[in-house]
Amino acid sequence: MKHKRTVICLTVIAFLLAGAIGALMFGEKHKNDKDYDEAKKQLIRGARYERWCFGVPDYNKAALCYQKAALLGSTQAQLEIGRCFFEGIGVTENDSVAFEWFLKAANGGLPKAQYYVGLCYECGTGVAVDYDSAMKWYKKALGHKRPCVEAKTRIGVLYGEGLGVDRDYAFALDCFNEGARFGDGAAMFCLGVAYENGYGVRSNWKSALEWYHKAAVLGHIQAMLSTAVYMYNGMGTKYEEQSYDQSFYWMSRAAKAGDPDAQCFLGEHYMHGDGCCVNYTEAVYWLRRAAAQGQEYAKQLLHGLDFIAEGGKQGLS
């Protein structure tokens, strides 16, 4: 999914049913009461299909319901169908269509949609890269009674990397710390990166691990991978002790979330029995998944395992 799998880690994917209803109940304008009621019904139904409320998720039906509600004027549904096209949930991934829906919802005043429009401009998703426009929309997302805190983190990233603005690590850190106070996992991950590399602070592996772990607990995929690597190498841990069990745990979670690097390293865990029993079948399974996403080291490891299998040392299915 190009650059988006990384970026999308910066925001909560799950759609909260209560939030969807709240968005409809407070200030959304529809053509008439009949349209309002139908949009509300379709939005709730879409959320249920996506959230397994009918037994198993049905993303195709969820996307269809969101689109019906979006066409009736629901800004929350416009955000949700945009997200579906953005991530390929129940529909074919289409960056341009995703951006159009995000923009409709953003113009309707939805903070999360304004954040997504900024993200599209920052990353060139469905629209040309434009850091000035990204900054404009991020600031709009923050200008609400209930702002989208993820936008603060992205502003920090723009300043930390000097994208469209002069690089300013101190201001970037202020943004990350503010985001972290509001529980944004992406902000916590960025603080981990800052402490790991000494961006605006003294390099400190212990502090880096603390922030990576906090972000990992909140479901940030890159933070899971970083936590696993730190645990494996004893970086920032007490007495610099390695913890293969913890490394295996976090690597497994990141791998199951689809990260190709984590899938590759998880395959290595199974190859060497680090935090688990040696299991070449599992090793091959995860290495193949990583290789299918273009992870080059996984391809090299698979070649080595094929060599072992041909030598009769270990049968692989």
* pLDDT digits 0-9 by tens, 197-218: 999 999 999 999 999 999 999 9
pLDDT in tens, 153-165: 999 999 999 999 9
Look at residue 242 in the predicted model and tell me its pLDDT.
93
For residue 14, the model assigns a pLDDT of 38
Residue with tokens 């399974």: 285
Reply yes or no on whether the pLDDT at 223 is more than 60.
Answer: yes
pLDDT at 8 over 90: no
Q: What is the mean pLDDT of residues 286-310?
A: 88
DSSP string computed for 157-182: HHHHHTSSS---HHHHHHHHHHHHHT
Which residue did the predictor score with more confidence, 71 or 313? 71
Tell me the pLDDT band of 239, cut-offs 50, 70 and 90. confident
277, 279, 282, 288: CA torsion to nearest 10: 130
Q: Report the percentage of the chain scoring pLDDT > 90.
A: 80
Would the pLDDT of 10 be above 60? no
Kindly report the CA angle at 21 between 20 and 23, in degrees rounded to 5?
65
User: What is the predicted pLDDT for the residue at 5?
Assistant: 44
Element spanning 150, H or E = helix 149-161
Residue (of 142, 140, 199, 211) closest to 173 by Cα position: 199
Task: Tell me: pLDDT of 183 over 80.
Answer: yes
Mean pLDDT confidence for 291-296: 97
CA-nearest of 154, 157, 85 to 126 is 85
Phi then psi dihedrals of residue 138, to 5 deg: -60, -40
- Report how far residue 76's alpha carbon sits from residue 262's, in angstroms, rounded to the nearest whole number: 33
Stretch 174-180: mean pLDDT, rounded? 97
Tokens representing 30 are: 């529809």
| Core vs surface per residue 39-48: b (16+ CB within 10 A) or e | bbebbbbbbb
Rounded Cα distance, 74 and 45, in Å:
14
Find the mean pLDDT for residues 170-184.
97
Mean pLDDT of the region 299-312: 74
109 pLDDT higher than 60: yes
Asked whether residue 77 carries a pLDDT value surpassing 60, the answer given is: yes
pTM comes to 0.84
CATH topology (fold) of 1-137: 1.25.40
Tokens of 63: 């996307």
Sign of CA dihedral 92, 97, 99, 104: negative
Q: Domain ranges in the chain?
A: 1-137
Encode pLDDT of 240-290 as tens digits: 899 999 999 999 999 999 999 999 999 999 999 999 999 999 999 999 999
- Mean pLDDT of all residues in 45-62: 87
Residue 253 in tokens: 């979670």
Over pLDDT 70: what percentage of the chain? 86
pLDDT, position 53: 63
Query: What's the whole-number average pLDDT of the chain?
Result: 89
- State yes or no: pLDDT of 306 exceeds 90: no
The 3-class SS string of 74-137 reads CHHHHHHHHHHHHHCCCCCCCHHHHHHHHHHHHHCCCHHHHHHHHHHHHHCCCCCCCHHHHHHH
The model's confidence at residue 31, banded by pLDDT at 50, 70 and 90, is low
The CA distance from 65 to 72, in Å, is 11
How far is Cα 267 from Cα 255, in angstroms, rounded to an integer? 10
Residue 293 pLDDT greater than 80, yes or no: yes
The reported pLDDT for the residue numbered 54 is 60
Other beta carbons within 10 Å of 152: 26
